[in-house]
Amino acid sequence: MIFKSHIRVEDLNVYYGREQALKNINLEIPEKMITVIIGPSGCGKTTLLKSFNRLLDLQEEVRYSGRIIVDGEDILSPKVEITRIRKKMGLLSQKPCSLPMSIYDNVAYGPRIHGIKDKKALNRIVEHYLNEVGLWEEVKGRLNEPAGRLSIGQQQRLSLARGLAVEPEIILGDEPTSALDPISSKRIEEKFWELKNNYTIVLVTHILRQARRLADYVIFLYLGEVIEAGAAKEIFENPKQELTREYIKGIIS
């Protein structure tokens, strides 16, 4: 599979205290495609995802080494401006997390932080991104209500809108549908299908069927190591590694 890589991981090692969570990871993540990271619980999927936007730094007793190159820049370097890195990457977490403010302010939060003050511009941004995630029609009459009053599925789409509003290049999703009902999950998945035209998307999931539906590129992690990475079709239909085959068949989990 030939692709232009957007994120390149070189010799990444991550430790929590004495435990090694990721071992010598070398990877390329293709641009403007959906990359899905699969693997059993506790294999380091979320750790890998959170190292892309350095949320890893918030973990207790974390140490890491190696390089992660995004747009030619090593984002693990201590010199890098961390807020700029995070702005490049929208994050969708497992449980939708609305900020303690109104629906409008949730979307306007990022743009305001990055200096947009003009009321009309903000209105445009809020409407645009709420439309983008298919929430505008549902909430346009109650933009000033607390975001916490929306349903879980709506909150997850609101989180997506909040992430998109700072114009990231990459969208990171950490099992973004795991707390949602089937219909809401489906809407989020469809959104990813649309968004991959403009964004590089990296998803963590433990739902193999979801991985099959969405993935262009698959990374299989097992006990902190990359066992196999490649085009989705190859991994699902003709995996090279025995472990991958067993995981996909459901023998190991």
Partner 1 sequence: MKEKPIILSGRFWRRVEERFFLGLMLFSCGVIFLGLVLIVLDIFIKGLPALSWSMISQSPKGGFYLGKGGGILNAIIGSLVLASGASLIAFFLSLPLVLYLNIYLKRTSGISAFIRFSLDVLWGVPSIVYGAFGFTIMVFFGLKASLLGGMIAVSLLIFPIMSRAMDEVMRMVPRELLEASYSVGTTRFETGLKIVLRQTFPGIITAVLIAFGRGIGDAASVIFTAGYSDYISVSLFRPVATLPLAIFYQLGTPFPEVQDRAYASGLILTVIIISISLVTRFLSKRFHKYIVK
Distance of CA 118 to the CA centre of its chain: 30
Nearer to partner 1 by Cβ, of 83 and 238: the residue is 83
Least CB distance to partner 1 at residue 87 (A):
3
User: Which 116-155 positions form the footprint of partner 1 (CB under 8 A)?
Assistant: 146-148
Q: Which residues of 186-196 are buried (b: 16+ CB within 10 A; e: fewer)?
A: ebbbebbeebb
89 binds partner 1 (CB under 8 A): yes
Strand residue runs (E) in the chain: 5-16, 19-30, 34-38, 62-70, 73-74, 89-92, 170-174, 200-204, 217-222, 225-231
From 5, 8, 24, 101, residue interacting with partner 1 (rule: CB under 8 A): 101
From 4, 63, 84, 240, residue interacting with partner 1 (rule: CB under 8 A): 84
Least CB distance to partner 1 at residue 144 (A):
11
Distance CA 90, CA 140 (A): 23
Helix (H, G, I), strand (E, B) or coil at 173: strand
Considering only the stretches 5-13, 77-85, 116-124, 205-213, report the one whose residues sit in contact with partner 1 under the rule CB under 8 A. Answer: 77-85
**Which residues contact partner 1 by CB under 8 A?**
53, 55, 58, 60-61, 83-91, 93-95, 97-102, 109-110, 113-114, 146-148, 159, 162-163, 165-166
